[in-house]
Structure 1
Amino acid sequence: MASKIHIGYMPELMENILNNLNNEISSLYSCAPVNRHWCKMAVAILWQDPFSSDRRPLFISKYFSSLGEDEKFILKAYLEERGINEEFSNTLFDYARFLKILEIWRLEIKVRKWIIDSKLLYYTEMYHIINLLFKLFIKSGATLHKLILGFSQFLELKPEIFYTLEENKQFFLRIQHLSLDILSDDNIENTIILFKALAKSTTKISTIEINYFDSDCEPQIFHALIYIIKSQEQLRLFSLAGDDSTEFHGVISALESQKNSLQEVILRYCNFSAEFEVFNNCKNLETLRIGYCATKLLKLLDYKVSTLDVVNKHMQSMALIFEKSGILLQRLKLGLYDEFQDEMLLLEALKSFCPNITYLSIHRIRFSPQLVELIGNLQKLQFLTLWFDEVYDIHEEVLKIQVIQFSEILPLTLQYFNLGGIWFEPFTDILFNHCNAPLKKMIIYRLNNKRISKALVEFCMRNKTLNYVGVHEYLNLDANTKKEVETYVELVPYESIFVDC
């Protein structure tokens, strides 16, 4: 079996393996020389999203080799007039054909850097080359999987781009992810035409993200966007950042057409609108993420989801939400504010109605007996993240007793514990000394005294389950402490083991 893999007789398996290296550019380059099959697969992955990578923009000139002879001649003369002698030598691959992800704004950035490196003039050359590349991608036979639309105010796509799209519908045919960034008023016409081309070409979009919703846009934008939404067979994720908008021009209501397929909704900075009632009809909705939205919006929706992520100033309606979701709720992330006064009510509702939570993350929570009681009640909890507010009104000795109770009550199902912030730091050794949970991963703010490191070592020796400790201030770790502790557990930057909701 190993020899078959090596010589490339199992390309599908190898492609899956290499796809897992899609963010490791150097590893993919190392795979390319192994043999012809590996080379073809590695190169295809390297060139599927070239504009999002950190590589220098020199690669852009490789695309020019795939231009038609007339376009090469014109571009070569164009560059020579400006003192640039660019040779368009033949390449082993037609790199444009491998494109899967196109973010127009990043395309602009890369071309701009290439132009600066080539000492060309600025806007004229940049937009001419962007149009050339866009047309090349379409004609090459590339099929996009992800498209992120966002234009600078000066970029104008030439009419021939849209004619080429009409003749090469495969370019948009397989798009699964559509993202709409900030649009300039100067580019509304470009956007409308692209939207219409999308609506004609694709029905397979599963994710639509609107990263900035401007309610003052031209009506044609909303009409085209509504048409795209209604044209999809199975839209699964819809995300909207609303800029405190109250008028959505039917875009939200259009999701009624996706009520049987929609599984995740993300709303940010949205004011109240009756259009949001449409989500109450989405019976397969599993995940709801709401940030900085109107309280009235929270009250409007009839939540029954398994994953809930809410960041808001006002959470008075959360207790009712917990009651509605009840035993269905498994993953919960809450971001609280200083002025939030109903923590006890919120914790009591969670304890009463949501016993099946496996992932819990709460930011800006006070350490309290009610919190300890809640955690002890969650007997299926596997992932826990707590960022504590500072406590000023409890005597230190009382706090130590509560920390001991908290440590001892941590569920035996708990595998991951992210203890954020510095307030809890003086009690970290108490936590390690009294914790019996079989933790596999732990995140702490810093490891800067012998008392805590000694308690951590003793915890590792006693429990024998902890594999990694993530440290926020990893770069400031004392070398001797690191050496001593890593005899028992690996210390890593916290980002490498962080688990989000």
Structure 2
Amino acid sequence: MQFTSRVQHLSLSGAAISNIESATTLLRTIAKYATKIRVLILAYDSYKTQFFHAAFHDIIQIIKSQEQLRLININGINYPSEFHGIISALESQKNTLQEAIIDNCDWSAEFEILKNCKNLDTFRIRFCDKKFLKILNCKISTLEILNDHRDISTTTQILKISGLMLKRLKLRSGYEETSILISLKSFCPNITYLDLGDIEISTQLIEVIGNLQKLQFLTLISWGNIDETKEELEVRVIHFAEILPPTLQYLKFWGGLQLNSCLDIFLNHCNTPLITLSIHRLSDEKTVKALIEFSKRSRTLNCVGLYHFDLNYDIRKKVEKYVRNHLNILMLIVNFYKFLLSMD
């Protein structure tokens, strides 16, 4: 019982339960004795709901028994739309809940209860009905929207309401860029984390980034064909390199062949003291030289993440020699997925 009373993080998955009777007995014990849970994660599989049908009363009681539940994560593995009062029970945590993460869920009126959570400042929705955006009526400091469906007007309204409070923004879903960029430039100058996914490196985007003087983490990916001459693209890349705020520490800068061909130009004109740089490909000597010179010049770079590393033998040996001699300045991680794990 002493252990149960100290539980602060609880994760439940119906698919992982082999003995429902034992599991429900444990949940009743937790509901009775645990009051310090801060994080509750529910992996809710609508096709395997036997466990949840047997235990939802206990889950509701667990939610109501907590003194300060801070984070709720609903992972709807197969897009459930019925939650048996579990979400409605969050009414009891309306003064303490700070973060809601909702994955792969269909809309349910139960989620309306989140409108009453006045201290909610982090909201992440991933592949859910766009109706979920409608429940936000307060200022948000962290917003993540990974959706197949767009709701540009609601998203821009959230940005406007959040304004100076918004610090972290991550968007995916092919948003029409102009409205989002105008809102960011007009209302959200305090962003420290920005991830807009696959987006054109436009003049408007560069202006927005230049306006974010507190930016620390930036992800820009641009796979599309660039409809301009190489000279015009180089001018744009130089402008981007020179306008990066001095607060920036992490930059993920991926692009197609056209953008990647200008990577050396970017590095030669960038004076931002980056600590971590992620690039898609390192494939020619001029980019290697620019990368090495940038690391010498900045004296801050200590990690470079690569997805492709296809240099010939001689150039590869030069890189390896530099890495051995300047390990405190540059560390090459060829497998980018391992690099991503190291950032968590």
TM-score by length of 2: 0.87
The equivalent residue for 2:137 is 302
Q: Secondary structure at the match of 1:180?
A: strand
CA contact (8 A) 2:159 2:188 kept: yes
Unaligned ranges ≥5, structure 2: none
The equivalent residue for 1:320 is 157
> 1:272 aligned to 2:113?
no
Alpha-carbon shift at residue 207 of structure 1 (Å): 0.9
The equivalent residue for 1:335 is 172
Q: Measure, in 2, the Cα distance between the counterparts of 1:221 and 1:301.
A: 29
Q: Secondary structure at the match of 1:411?
A: coil
Which deviations, in whole Å up to 9, do the C-alpha atoms of 1:407-439 show, x marking residues without a partner?
111112112212235453211111101112121
What's the C-alpha RMSD, in Å, of the aligned pairs? 2.5
Q: Measure, in 1, the Cα distance between the counterparts of 2:311 and 2:292.
A: 19
> 1:436 aligned to 2:268?
no
Q: Measure, in 2, the Cα distance between the counterparts of 1:170 and 1:421.
A: 54
Alpha-carbon shift at residue 471 of structure 1 (Å): 2.2
Q: Secondary structure at the match of 1:446?
A: strand
Which region of structure 1 is more displaced relative to structure 2, 299-308 or 263-272?
299-308
Distance 1:232 1:445, change over 3 A: same
Alpha-carbon shift at residue 496 of structure 1 (Å): 4.3
The equivalent residue for 1:414 is 248
The equivalent residue for 1:491 is 331
The one-letter amino acid of 1:191's match is A
Q: Measure, in 2, the Cα distance between the counterparts of 1:455 and 1:250.
A: 58
> 1:450 aligned to 2:285?
yes
Which deviations, in whole Å up to 9, do the C-alpha atoms of 1:184-235 show, x marking residues without a partner?
7974433322211211121111111012243854644221110111011111
Q: Measure, in 2, the Cα distance between the counterparts of 1:402 and 1:498.
A: 32
The one-letter amino acid of 1:469's match is V
The one-letter amino acid of 1:361's match is D
> 1:465 aligned to 2:300?
yes
The equivalent residue for 1:291 is 126
Q: Secondary structure at the match of 1:211?
A: strand
Which deviations, in whole Å up to 9, do the C-alpha atoms of 1:39-64 show, x marking residues without a partner?
xxxxxxxxxxxxxxxxxxxxxxxxxx
CA contact (8 A) 2:38 2:70 kept: yes
The equivalent residue for 1:210 is 42
Q: Measure, in 2, the Cα distance between the counterparts of 1:474 and 1:181.
A: 40
Flag the structure with more relative contact order, 1 or 2, with Cα contacts below 8 A and sequence separation at least 6: 2
Alpha-carbon shift at residue 468 of structure 1 (Å): 2.5
Distance 1:346 1:499, change over 3 A: farther
The equivalent residue for 1:149 is none
Percent pairwise identity: 45
Q: Measure, in 1, the Cα distance between the counterparts of 2:301 and 2:23.
A: 52
Distance 1:350 1:384, change over 3 A: same
Which region of structure 1 is more displaced relative to structure 2, 169-178 or 407-416?
169-178
Distance 1:498 1:200, change over 3 A: closer
CA contact (8 A) 1:268 1:292 kept: yes
Unaligned ranges ≥5, structure 1: 1-168
Q: Secondary structure at the match of 2:44?
A: coil
28, 36, 45: which one aligns with 1:196: 28
Q: Measure, in 2, the Cα distance between the counterparts of 1:398 and 1:303.
A: 42
Q: Measure, in 1, the Cα distance between the counterparts of 2:250 and 2:122.
A: 21
Q: Measure, in 1, the Cα distance between the counterparts of 2:242 and 2:4.
A: 56
CA contact (8 A) 1:441 1:497 kept: no
Which region of structure 1 is more displaced relative to structure 2, 390-399 or 360-369?
390-399
Which region of structure 1 is more displaced relative to structure 2, 476-485 or 393-402?
476-485
Which deviations, in whole Å up to 9, do the C-alpha atoms of 1:136-172 show, x marking residues without a partner?
xxxxxxxxxxxxxxxxxxxxxxxxxxxxxxxxx2342
The one-letter amino acid of 2:272's match is A
How does 1:39-50 map onto structure 2 within 5 Å? none
Which deviations, in whole Å up to 9, do the C-alpha atoms of 1:39-90 show, x marking residues without a partner?
xxxxxxxxxxxxxxxxxxxxxxxxxxxxxxxxxxxxxxxxxxxxxxxxxxxx
Q: Secondary structure at the match of 1:210?
A: strand
The equivalent residue for 2:319 is 482
The one-letter amino acid of 2:11's match is S
The equivalent residue for 1:181 is 13
The one-letter amino acid of 2:197's match is H
Distance 1:345 1:454, change over 3 A: same
Alpha-carbon shift at residue 395 of structure 1 (Å): 3.1
The equivalent residue for 2:227 is 393
The one-letter amino acid of 1:253's match is S
The one-letter amino acid of 1:490's match is L
Q: Measure, in 2, the Cα distance between the counterparts of 1:321 and 1:199.
A: 36
TM-score by length of 1: 0.61
The one-letter amino acid of 2:211's match is N
Which deviations, in whole Å up to 9, do the C-alpha atoms of 1:335-361 show, x marking residues without a partner?
234xx4x11111111111110001111
Which has more radius of gyration? 1
Alpha-carbon shift at residue 396 of structure 1 (Å): 2.9
CA contact (8 A) 1:444 1:469 kept: yes
134, 141, 146: which one aligns with 1:311: 146
Q: Measure, in 1, the Cα distance between the counterparts of 2:102 and 2:303.
A: 34
Distance 1:439 1:171, change over 3 A: closer
